[in-house]
């Protein structure tokens, strides 16, 4: 049996997405910047995609910027907004818990040779992976230009209260911009930036059955962002480069599908999540300590379960599961060669050793209860065997 439980890494494209992408590549292959009919036809796809996505977020279609994916969206939001608004201040707030595509651009800003430097405040998280709203309130200053907080954490599925955070930010400093990395949240949650006081939202296409290499960034019309990719002036100069029409059209189809059946999907995935968490907590094997880092309630996203299987190294367990057809992610790389352990796992209080024994299971709407059951059975078989072979 093959169980793909690594949907937070990427998903399989849906049939309609594949059809749309193929059609655009095969028949409507024009460059939307071309003045002839072929170009016009292809531009229609962009317009429709923009409209479809804007409708989901309840925003103006002008406010959608297509990018090459989540990483570019985050880079553009952070570096672009920081550079465009630096005269107002050079202080940025984030959490210690973000994806590398947020942390690295911020590190870059911090290390810019300009004087004064961009100053970054990293908010801690509790054992469930939530920031404290009081901490946030205290951290916002007169010169805070930007707060960047992810909606759903990619490793453990912790969900932040974005509306409450947005409210606090704007109350304390109306000029402070709020960026949300919604890469793991899109398709699973309603995201209404205007209502939530969010100024920028990053999304990646391939996390919800869309194609890879495409994503978007919502940017509130009033927010100034400096473009990072310069050239032919596509997308009103905000992101040059020939538009990825097949990818964008495919992503729009995927987004419409995701929100068309969002409620059922979320209910289904929540059921699977709870089933896996219950199943894991019922496994009792001598010498194995199972610690579940995700929660059955709203505190965790419906599609992510993180669990620690001390003292079995995640990479060994991952390959053993792979051998049985179960595909998952390790929370972090093995430590003997790579000391770069997951910052997320340690920020919620896991030890380095525990982080090294942590796996992530992630579902999508087509995952089944049978897959969860099969996976639990494989774990029950493998863990007693693998736990015998650990460094003593």
Active site residues: 334
390 binds another protein (CB under 8 A): yes
316 binds another protein (CB under 8 A): yes
315 binds another protein (CB under 8 A): yes
Contact 8, 238 (CB under 8 A): no
341 binds another protein (CB under 8 A): no
286 binds another protein (CB under 8 A): no
Contact 219, 77 (CB under 8 A): yes
* Residue closer to another protein, measured from CB, 229 or 334: 334
Give dist(CA 322, CA 306) in Å, integer. Answer: 17
Give dist(CA 235, CA 365) in Å, integer. Answer: 33
Q: Which residue has the tokens 């969900």?
A: 159
Give dist(CA 294, CA 129) in Å, integer. Answer: 9
Q: What angle do helix axes 262-281 and 245-260 make, rounded to 10 degrees? A: 80
What token pair was written down for 33?
């910047």
Give dist(CA 331, CA 312) in Å, integer. Answer: 13
Tell me how far, at minimum, the Cβ of 101 lies from another protein, in Å.
Answer: 21
Tell me how far, at minimum, the Cβ of 307 lies from another protein, in Å.
Answer: 17
319 binds another protein (CB under 8 A): yes
Q: Which residue has the tokens 């929100």?
A: 259
**Residues in Cβ contact with 155 at an 8 Å cutoff, skipping those fewer than 6 apart:** 304, 306, 331, 342, 344, 345, 360
* Residue closer to another protein, measured from CB, 306 or 330: 330
337 binds another protein (CB under 8 A): yes
**By CB under 8 A, which span of 113-121, 159-167, 245-253, 319-327 interacts with another protein?**
319-327
How many residues sit in the footprint of another protein (CB under 8 A)?
19
388 binds another protein (CB under 8 A): yes
317 binds another protein (CB under 8 A): yes
* Residue closer to another protein, measured from CB, 196 or 326: 326
Q: Which residue has the tokens 């699977």?
A: 272
**By CB under 8 A, which span of 65-73, 133-141, 262-270, 312-320 interacts with another protein?**
312-320
**Residues in Cβ contact with 181 at an 8 Å cutoff, skipping those fewer than 6 apart:** 70, 74, 98, 99, 101, 102, 148, 149, 150, 151, 202
228 binds another protein (CB under 8 A): no
Out of 336, 352, 368, 369, name the contact with another protein by CB under 8 A.
Answer: 336
323 binds another protein (CB under 8 A): yes
Out of 318, 328, 345, 350, name the contact with another protein by CB under 8 A.
Answer: 318
Contact footprint for another protein (CB under 8 A): 313, 315-320, 322-323, 333-334, 336-338, 388-392
């Amino acid at each position: 049996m093959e169980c793909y439980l690594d949907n937070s890494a990427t998903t399989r494209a849906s049939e309609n997405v594949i059809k749309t992408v193929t059609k655009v590549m095969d028949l409507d292959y024009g460059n939307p910047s071309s003045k002839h009919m072929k170009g016009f036809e292809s531009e229609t796809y962009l317009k429709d995609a923009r409209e479809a996505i804007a409708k989901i977020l309840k925003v103006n279609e002008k406010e959608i910027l297509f990018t090459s994916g989540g990483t570019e969206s985050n880079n553009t939001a952070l570096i672009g907004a920081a550079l465009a608004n630096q005269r107002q201040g050079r202080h940025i707030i984030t959490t210690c818990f973000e994806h590398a595509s947020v942390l690295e651009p911020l590190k870059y800003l911090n290390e810019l040779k300009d004087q004064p430097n961009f100053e970054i405040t990293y908010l801690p998280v509790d054992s469930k992976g939530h920031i404290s709203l009081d901490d946030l309130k205290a951290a916002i200053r007169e010169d805070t230009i930007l707060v960047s907080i992810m909606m759903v954490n990619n490793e453990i599925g912790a969900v932040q209260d974005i509306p409450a955070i947005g409210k606090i930010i704007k109350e304390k400093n109306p000029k402070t911009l709020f960026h949300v990395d919604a890469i793991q949240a899109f398709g699973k949650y309603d995201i209404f930036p205007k209502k939530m006081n969010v100024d920028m939202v990053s999304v990646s296409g391939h996390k919800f059955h869309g194609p890879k290499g495409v994503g978007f960034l919502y940017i509130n019309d009033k927010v100034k962002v400096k473009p990072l990719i310069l050239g032919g002036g596509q997308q009103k100069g905000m992101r040059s480069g020939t538009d990825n029409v097949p990818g964008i059209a495919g992503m729009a189809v995927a987004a419409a599908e995701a929100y068309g059946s969002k409620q059922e999907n979320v209910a289904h995935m929540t059921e699977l999540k709870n089933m896996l968490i219950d199943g894991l907590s019922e496994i009792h094997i001598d010498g194995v300590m199972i610690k579940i880092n995700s929660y059955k309630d709203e505190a965790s996203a419906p599609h992510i379960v993180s669990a620690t299987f001390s003292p079995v190294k995640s990479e060994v367990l991952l390959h053993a599961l792979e051998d049985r057809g179960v595909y998952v992610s390790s929370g972090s790389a093995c430590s003997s060669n790579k000391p770069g352990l997951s910052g997320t796992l340690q920020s919620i209080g896991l030890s380095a050793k525990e982080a090294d024994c942590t796996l992530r299971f992630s579902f999508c709407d087509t995952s089944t209860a049978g897959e969860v059951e099969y996976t639990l059975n494989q774990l029950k078989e493998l863990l007693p065997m693998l736990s015998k072979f650990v460094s003593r």
